[in-house]
């Protein structure tokens, strides 16, 4: 995908792709939260899916007709259903709470997915991976703090996290036969109908500036998803999922600089634990 990566091992490449993907996801979520003050979040979700073909067009042209072929159509359907439910729950929950808390709650995904990968993909739970995962989760608990109550938005994020974890298992299985672009294409196109149904009562005509922001959301979201697929194709979930905790660090920085969200010491302490666990697992796996 990138010639620059050719000199690295598959594991190192997957780690780099996972980190960039996580940052892209947080950028997309933050931009969607910003625009949701003007346009309903369900319309943003629908248009983000509808623009996937446009965003992927250059890569589709390069890969040719093979990009439209999937060897696991049933898994594509399962992935589309779970992804659609998870995305709608996530984006609606996003409008009801802060970007940092959303990301913190969503970081239960590595816990759920690691367990599912152990049960269904037979991935090994090496000691250092489990420790890194637990330290990252501890950092998330420090960020959340006992005094934070879970509201409707938080509940929706947790439901989204569980369903998205199931979707990640489907994605990992799909990477065994399909390209990262094919997986992104089927997901984006497949989610158009369900997101349209959810968005229909709220549809409006975006102005030029709003449409450009939505297009940016589509670009960052499609990039995040395609890089995630590429990372999964090259590495094991147990290696990559601890890096997902870095999303909290990106969300804290964006929440503070753009949304002027408060950043108590617990956020920075938890963020330090998260960065430490992610850096450790990346260093150990690279060596």
Using alpha carbons only, how large is the chain's radius of gyration in Å? 18
Task: Report yes or no on 12 lying in a domain.
Answer: yes
Q: Which of 168, 154, 151 is nearest to 99 (CA)?
A: 154
Can you say whether residue 150 is alpha, beta or left, with left for phi > 0 and alpha for psi between -120 and 50 degrees? beta
Tens digits of per-residue pLDDT, 258-282?
Answer: 666 566 676 667 767 766 776 676 5
Q: Print burial letters for 73-85: b (CB count within 10 Å at least 16), e (below 16).
A: eebbebbbbbbbb
CB 139 within 8 A of CB 245: yes
Q: What is the mean pLDDT of residues 226-243?
A: 86
Task: Report yes or no on 239 lying in a domain.
Answer: yes
Task: Report yes or no on 122 lying in a domain.
Answer: yes
Task: Report yes or no on 3 lying in a domain.
Answer: no
Q: For the whole prediction, is pTM greater than 0.75?
A: yes
pLDDT at 264: 66
pLDDT at 267: 65
Task: Report yes or no on 1 lying in a domain.
Answer: no
- Tokens describing residue 248: 């909290």
DSSP state of 9: -
Which range marks the domain in which residue 48 is found?
A: 8-286
Task: Report yes or no on 133 lying in a domain.
Answer: yes
Contacts of 197 (CB under 8 A, 6+ apart): none
Task: Report yes or no on 200 lying in a domain.
Answer: yes
120 vs 189: which has the higher pLDDT: 189
Task: Report yes or no on 87 lying in a domain.
Answer: yes
Q: What is the mean pLDDT of residues 218-234?
A: 93
> First vs last Cα of the chain: how many Å apart?
23
- Tokens describing residue 258: 């753009």
Task: Quickly state the pLDDT bin for 118 (edges 50, 70, 90).
Answer: confident
- Tokens describing residue 147: 């005094």
Number of domains comprising the chain: 1
| Cα 164 from Cα 182, distance rounded (Å) | 19
Contacts of 258 (CB under 8 A, 6+ apart): 30, 34
Q: Which of 237, 272, 282, 267 is nearest to 115 (CA)?
A: 237
Q: What is the dihedral of CA 160, 163, 165, 170, to 10 degrees?
A: -140
pLDDT at 215: 97
Give the number of other Cβ atoms within 10 Å of residue 61's Cβ: 9
């Amino acid at each position: 995908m990138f010639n620059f990566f050719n000199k690295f091992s598959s594991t190192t490449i997957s780690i780099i792709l996972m980190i960039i993907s996580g940052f892209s996801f947080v950028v997309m979520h933050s931009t969607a939260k910003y625009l949701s003050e003007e346009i309903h979040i369900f319309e943003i979700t629908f248009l983000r899916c509808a623009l996937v073909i446009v965003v992927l067009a250059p890569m589709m042209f390069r890969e040719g007709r093979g990009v439209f072929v999937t060897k696991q159509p049933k898994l594509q359907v399962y992935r589309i259903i779970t992804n659609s439910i998870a995305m709608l729950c996530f984006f609606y929950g996003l409008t009801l709470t802060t970007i940092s808390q959303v990301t913190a709650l969503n970081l239960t995904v590595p816990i759920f997915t690691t367990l599912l990968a152990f049960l269904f993909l037979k991935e090994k739970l090496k000691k250092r991976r489990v420790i890194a995962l637990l330290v990252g989760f501890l950092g998330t608990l420090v960020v959340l703090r006992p005094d934070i109550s879970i509201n409707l938005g938080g509940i929706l994020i947790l439901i989204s996290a569980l369903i998205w974890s199931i979707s990640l298992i489907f994605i990992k299985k799909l990477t065994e036969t399909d390209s990262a672009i094919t997986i992104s294409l089927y997901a984006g196109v497949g989610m158009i109908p369900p997101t349209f149904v959810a968005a229909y009562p709220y549809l409006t005509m975006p102005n030029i500036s709003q449409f450009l922001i939505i297009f940016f959301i589509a670009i960052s979201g499609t990039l995040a998803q395609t890089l995630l697929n590429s990372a999964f194709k090259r590495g094991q979930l147990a290696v990559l999922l601890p890096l997902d905790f870095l999303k909290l660090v990106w969300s804290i920085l964006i929440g503070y600089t753009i949304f002027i969200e408060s950043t108590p010491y617990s956020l920075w302490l938890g963020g330090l634990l998260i960065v430490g666990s992610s850096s450790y697992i990346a260093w150990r796996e690279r060596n």
